[in-house]
Chains A and B, each alone.
Chain A
Amino acid sequence: DVKVTQSSRYLVKRTGEKVFLECVQDMDHENMFWYRQDPGLGLRLIYFSYDVKMKEKGDIPEGYSVSREKKERFSLILESASTNQTSMYLCASRGLLYRTDTQYFGPGTRLTVL
């Protein structure tokens, strides 16, 4: 059974803290993605990576950075958390070969910044 796992389901942090969200996939996928999901705004892409050490900005990268040191792991970093980063964060991975490849999502991390 394919799996994308995220380090935490729920996280509460204070304004100004540095926050790490970890994502691991076991499908040997090249592509990995970080989204945030907010009511009324849908899924918005923050960053994605198509290979180890490679990253590209998505639609809303401001206030975030990412790291991909190993193929199976993609980390999202909030350098200095702010209240407007309170959201549901979803990690996903997808194969490279076929345009019909399934994109698999993790269970999500609900982050609250106080």
Chain B
Amino acid sequence: TQLLEQSPQFLSIQEGENLTVYCNSSSVFSSLQWYRQEPGEGPVLLVTVVTGGEVKKLKRLTFQFGDARKDSSLHITAAQPGDTGLYLCAGDPQAAGNKLTFGGGTRVLVKP
């Protein structure tokens, strides 16, 4: 079974600070997706990274896929209270099938 480890599990910061969330595995993934989930809602896709070394920016969010496609990071610059939520990474294994492997999630709290 391929596993994705997310760290940290919980992050509490002040508005305006930066934060980074990590998603690591010993397995290779053909693509990796990042989701944000707000309380009482389902996860919503933020970005998909496909190529090793790829960097994608979404306003104040920067996503990076490791060169070996085993790890990824999400960096938020100047965090705002609206960034509060559960961040999930999900990897698409190289093997056939359409099941994503999810990390355990990082709960982010941005205090005003």
Give chain A's interface residues, CB within 8 Å of chain B.
4, 9, 31, 33, 40-43, 45, 48, 50, 58-59, 90, 92, 94, 96, 99-100, 102-108, 110
User: Is B40 a contact of A108 with CB atoms below 8 Å?
Assistant: yes
Q: Are A102 and B45 in contact (CB under 8 A)?
A: yes
Known: A43-B43, A103-B100, A110-B40. 15 other contacts (CB 8 A): A31-B98, A40-B104, A41-B104, A42-B88, A42-B104, A43-B88, A43-B105, A58-B99, A59-B1, A90-B42, A92-B42, A99-B50, A103-B33, A105-B42, A107-B42
Give the residue of A90, A100, A108 whose beta carbon is less than 8 angstroms from that of B48: A100
Say which residue of B1, B30, B35 sits within 8 Å of A99 (CB atoms). B30
* Least Cβ–Cβ distance between B71 and chain A, in angstroms: 17
Interface residues on B, range: 20 to 34
Taken together as a complex, chains A and B put the C-alpha atoms of A31 and B43 apart, in Å, by 17
Docked pose: A24 CA to B23 CA in angstroms: 31
In the complex formed, the residue of A with least CB distance to B105 is: A42
Pairs A–B under 8 Å by Cβ, sample size 6: A42-B88, A42-B103, A43-B105, A48-B98, A108-B40, A110-B40
Q: Is the C-beta of B31 less than 8 angstroms from some C-beta in chain A?
A: yes
Complexed CA–CA distance, A99 and B92 (Å): 7
In the complex, the answer to whether B99 meets A48 with C-beta atoms within 8 Å is yes
